[in-house]
Amino acid sequence: MSSSERVLEVRDLVKHFPLTQGIVFKRQIGAIKAVDGVSFDLRKGETLGIVGESGCGKSTLAKVLMALERPTSGSVTINGKDIAKARGSELKRMRRNIQMVMQDPYTSLNPRMTVGDIIGEPFEIHTEVAPKGDRRKKVQELLEVVGLNPDHINRYPHQFSGGQRQRIGIARGLALQPEIIVCDEPVSALDVSIQAQVINLLERLQNEFDLAYIFIAHDLSVVRHISDRVGVMYLGKFVELGKDNDIYDKPAHPYTQALLSAVPVPDPEGREQRERIILQGDPPSPANPPTGCRFRTRCWKAQEICAEQEPLLQIRPGTGHESACHFAETHDVVHAG
Amino acid sequence: MKRTAPEVLPAEGGLGDEPLLAVDDLHVEFHTRAGVVRAVNGVSYTVNPGETLAVLGESGSGKSVTAQAIMGILDMPPAVIPQGEIRFKGTDLLKLSDDARTQVRGQRIAMVFQDALSALNPVFTVGWQISEMFRVHRGMSKSDAMKKAVELMDKVRIPAAKQRVHDYPHQFSGGMRQRIMIAMSIALDPEVLIADEPTTALDVTVQAQIMDLLAELQRESQMGMILITHDLGVVADVADKIAVMYAGRIVENAPVHDIYRAPAHPYTKGLLESIPRVDLKGQELYAIKGLPPNLLDLPTGCAFHPRCPYRQDNCVTSAPPLYEISGTRSSACHYWREVLDGEQQ
C-alpha cells in the first residue's frame, strides 16, 4: 500500500553531455541534452513506471538518480537531502537508500566472483549494515528471499540461468535494505516464461519491504502491470505523467497515443480494424532538439504555436492528468474500433 | 554470367499439390565436447505463397536452428542433420549439391537477420552491400548494380536513397539498418522470406513501421514468410498460422485465431496466461514454473513434463506424438482435450 510519505523528489533535473571539438584545446560545440528538465515525486511503496523509446533519456535519468552521474542542474532529494549536492561520506550514506537492478544479468555480474561475494560486496562498503561474522548468514537470507537455494552461495554466475542471475542482481540490490530501487529494464533480457516469475518476485518484495520502485522498461504491458503511476519520456522530457489507468485508457499526448497504438496486442481478433498510428521517421537528435514542442516534427496535430511555444507539463482542460501538448485531448487508442 | 542451373533445381512457377516450402521431420544435432546437443528433434511445417507462418519459441527452442538449416547456413560440423527433409517446391534441399544450394540461397529463399548492426559489414557502404547481390548472383556491372541498390532503398522507404547509398552502416539508425537488411533480402525476388526476430532490437514505434513494410512487400510479391519470434503480440498481429516450439519440437500447430482463443498445449496456454492483462492488475502473474530444459540432457517422455500442470504418469515415460485435433490443428500433448476444455471453463 502506498502511503503519502515522499521518499524521492526530483525537480527540474537536467543532464547535458558536452560535445567537444579539438584535441589540445577542447572547445564545447554543443551538448547532448539527454535529460532536459524532469520533475516528479515518488512515495513510499509506490512504483513509477518510465517508458519511452531508446535514446529518450530513461537510462541517463536512472544514472543521475543513483548519483552515478552529476546532474547539470536540478535536484534529486531523497528523504529531504539532495543527493546531487552530497559529497564524500554523506553521499556514501545516502547511496544506501537507493539501489539499482541492471538490465543484463549476463554482464552485470562479475564472472570471477562467487554469488556470496557478489551479494556480500555491498557489506564491504557499508560495514555498518552487517558485521563481518554476520555476512554469510545475511547473504544466505537474501538468497532465500529471492527464491534461490542458500546452499548455492559458493557458486559462480555461469552456473545459473538468466532468470536466476536476475534474482542474484535483485538480492544484491536488496542487501542494504534501501527504500528505493531503480530497475532499468529488469526483465527485457529474459525469456517470456521467466519474465512473469521475476515480475512476481519484484511485486512480492515490494509488499514485504515497502519498497519504492522506479521501473524503466520498454514493454508497455509489463509497465502497466507493475506501476501505480507512469511517465512517458520523449527526448529528455516527460510528455505525460499520470496514474496507470489515465495513461493507458485516456492518453492525452499524441506521442503516448502513437506509442500505445504501436504495441502489438496479443489477440488476433479484429486485428484488421485496429487503429494504428504509425509515426514517420526516427526521433530527432538530442543534440539539436526541435524548438518549441520536441515532438512536433513527427506529430500530426502540429501547428505554428508548437514551433514557437514549448508546451509545459500540466493538467489541461478535459484531461485529469498532466500532459505537455497544446492540443491535448484524451483518446482511447487501445480499445478504439 | 549466369551459371546453368542443374536439373535438380526446383522449377519456377506452378506448384501442384506440393507446398512452397515443407520441413519434414527435421533433426539437427550439434556434436560438442560436452556431448550431443539435440537442438531440433523432428520439426515439420509448411509455408504456402502469400502465407505467414509464425514460429514461436523461447531461446534454445530450436526455432533459429531450423531456419538456418533451411537456409543452409549451419556450420557443419559441429551441426549434423541425421534425419529429415526440407522440400522447396518438391525438391529436397538437403540432397542438393553445394553449387545448387548456393543458387537457392538468397535468390529463392532469403533471410532477414535479427541484429542489423552486426549482420552488415561496417567497412563497406550499404550501397555496395546491397548491390553485391546483383553483382554476384546476376553478374551485373558495378554501376548497374548500384542503380538497382538505389531502387531497392527507395522501395523500403529510406529517404534520400540516392545520397545515402554511399553511407556506411553506422550512419543509419536501427530502424533504417533493418530496412537495408530487408532491401538485401528481397533484392532477387525470393519466393520464401525467413525473418528471424526482425524487430526484437527495435523500439515499438519502429517495430510497427518494419512489420508494416514486410506485410506490404509480401502482399506485392506473394512471398511465403516464416516469422521467427518470441513476441506473442507481433504474432497475433501478422501471422496466418503458428507453430509453437519447445525443446526442439513443435508442440502446437494451429491457425492464429484458434490458438489465442483456446490453446491445446499446456506450454502455449502458460505463455498466453503469463502476459500481463489489465483486468488482472495487482494480482500475481501466472508463471510457468521451473526452467527451460537443458538440450544436452532432455527430460524423458514429454520434454515439458517437469513444468507441466497437466502431467500424468505416462507423460514421464512416453513422448506424445503430434495428435491431430482438426484438419489444421495439432498438439503434442497426451491431454490436449483437457487443455482445450480447461480454457472454456
Confirm or reject contact between B34 and chain A (CB < 8 A): no
Mutate to test the interface with B, among A224, A269, A282 (most CBs of B within 10 A): A282
Q: Which three cell numbers stand for residue B169?
A: 552502416
Q: Provide the pLDDT for residue B124.
A: 92
Rounded to an integer, what distance in angstroms lies between the CA atom of residue A166 and that of residue A106?
9
Q: Provide the pLDDT for residue B4.
A: 46
Q: Provide the pLDDT for residue B54.
A: 92
Indicate if the pLDDT at residue A336 is higher than 70: no
Q: Provide the pLDDT for residue B2.
A: 46
SS3 B70: helix
**Which residues, in sequence order, are CB contacts of B216 under 8 Å at separation 6+?**
none
- Any idea which residue has 529471492 for its cell? A146
Average pLDDT, chain A: 87
Q: Provide the pLDDT for residue B91.
A: 86
Interface contact A263-B233, CB threshold 8 A: yes
Which of the four pLDDT bands, split at 50, 70 and 90, describes residue B14?
A: low
Which of the four pLDDT bands, split at 50, 70 and 90, describes residue A272?
A: confident
**Which residues, in sequence order, are CB contacts of A80 under 8 Å at separation 6+?**
none
Nearest chain A residue to B262, by CA: A267
Closest residue by Cα to residue A201 from B258, B2, B285: B285
Rounded to an integer, what distance in angstroms lies between the CA atom of residue B184 and that of residue B206?
19
Confirm or reject contact between B284 and chain A (CB < 8 A): yes
Q: Which three cell numbers stand for residue A151?
A: 546452499
pLDDT digits (tens, 9 = 90+) for B92-115: 888 888 888 888 888 889 998 888
Rounded to an integer, what distance in angstroms lies between the CA atom of residue A35 and that of residue B86?
52
Indicate if the pLDDT at residue B343 is higher than 50: no
pLDDT, average across residues A144-169: 89
Ordered by where they begin, the domains of chain B are 21-239 (3.40.50.300), 245-344 (no CATH)
Interface contact B204-A220, CB threshold 8 A: yes
Indicate if the pLDDT at residue A152 is higher than 80: yes
Cite the beta strand spans of B159-279 per DSSP E. 192-196, 224-229, 241-246, 249-255
Q: Which three cell numbers stand for residue B41?
A: 528433434
CB A231 within 8 A of CB A48: yes
pLDDT digits (tens, 9 = 90+) for A216-258: 988 888 898 899 999 999 999 999 999 988 888 889 999 999 9
Rounded to an integer, what distance in angstroms lies between the CA atom of residue B226 and that of residue B60?
18
Q: What CATH code would you report for A6-259?
A: 3.40.50.300
Nearest chain B residue to A271, by CA: B237
pLDDT, average across residues B142-162: 87
Q: Provide the pLDDT for residue B1.
A: 45
Q: Provide the pLDDT for residue B13.
A: 53
Nearest residue, CB atoms, A225 vs list B206, B212, B285: B285
Return the higher-pLDDT residue of B278 and A213. Answer: A213
Interface contact A192-B59, CB threshold 8 A: no
End-to-end distance of chain A based on CA atoms, in angstroms?
35
Rounded to an integer, what distance in angstroms lies between the CA atom of residue A99 and that of residue B37?
39
Which of the four pLDDT bands, split at 50, 70 and 90, describes residue B243?
A: very high
The residues facing B127 across adjacent strands are none
Q: Provide the pLDDT for residue A72.
A: 92
Q: Cα–chain-centroid distance for residue B78?
A: 21
SS3 A333: coil
Residues of A in Cβ contact (< 8 Å) with B175: 282
**How buried is residue A318: exposed, middle or buried, by Cβ count under 10 Å (0-12/13-18/19+)?**
exposed
Rounded to an integer, what distance in angstroms lies between the CA atom of residue A165 and that of residue A119?
11
Tallying the residues shown for chain A, one arrives at 337
- What whole-number percentage of chain A has pLDDT above 90? 35
Nearest residue, CB atoms, A278 vs list B208, B237, B291: B208
Q: Which of residues 179-208 of B touch A (CB under 8 A)?
A: 203-208
Residues of B in Cβ contact (< 8 Å) with A196: 274, 285-288
Q: Provide the pLDDT for residue B55.
A: 92
Which of the four pLDDT bands, split at 50, 70 and 90, describes residue B53?
A: very high
Indicate if the pLDDT at residue B16 is higher than 70: no
pLDDT digits (tens, 9 = 90+) for B211-227: 888 888 898 888 999 99
Indicate if the pLDDT at residue A20 is higher than 80: yes
CB B275 within 8 A of CB B232: yes
Backbone phi and psi for residue B18, each to the nearest 5 degrees, phi listed first: -70, 135
Q: Cα–chain-centroid distance for residue A276?
A: 26
CB B247 within 8 A of CB B62: yes
pLDDT digits (tens, 9 = 90+) for B275-329: 887 767 777 888 888 888 888 888 888 889 888 888 888 888 888 888 888 888 9
Domains of chain A, by residue range, sit at 6-259, 260-337
**pTM for this prediction:** 0.83
Q: Provide the pLDDT for residue B11.
A: 57
pLDDT, average across residues B115-121: 83
Indicate if the pLDDT at residue B12 is higher than 60: no
- What whole-number percentage of chain A has pLDDT above 70? 98
**Which residues, in sequence order, are CB contacts of B22 under 8 Å at separation 6+?**
B44, B45, B46, B47, B85, B86, B87
CA distance to partner chain B, nearest, from residue A54 (Å) = 7
Quote the radius of gyration of chain A (alpha carbons, Å). Answer: 21
**How buried is residue B24: exposed, middle or buried, by Cβ count under 10 Å (0-12/13-18/19+)?**
middle
CB B253 within 8 A of CB B45: yes
Q: Provide the pLDDT for residue A222.
A: 87
Q: Provide the pLDDT for residue B5.
A: 46
Indicate if the pLDDT at residue B260 is higher than 90: no
Nearest residue, CB atoms, A53 vs list B205, B236, B284: B205
Q: Which of residues 88-147 of B touch A (CB under 8 A)?
A: none
Interface contact A193-B59, CB threshold 8 A: no
Indicate if the pLDDT at residue B143 is higher than 50: yes
ipTM of the complex: 0.76
* C-alpha distances out from residue B183 to B10, B110, B154, B331, Å: 24, 11, 9, 36
Q: Provide the pLDDT for residue B251.
A: 92
pLDDT, average across residues B187-212: 85
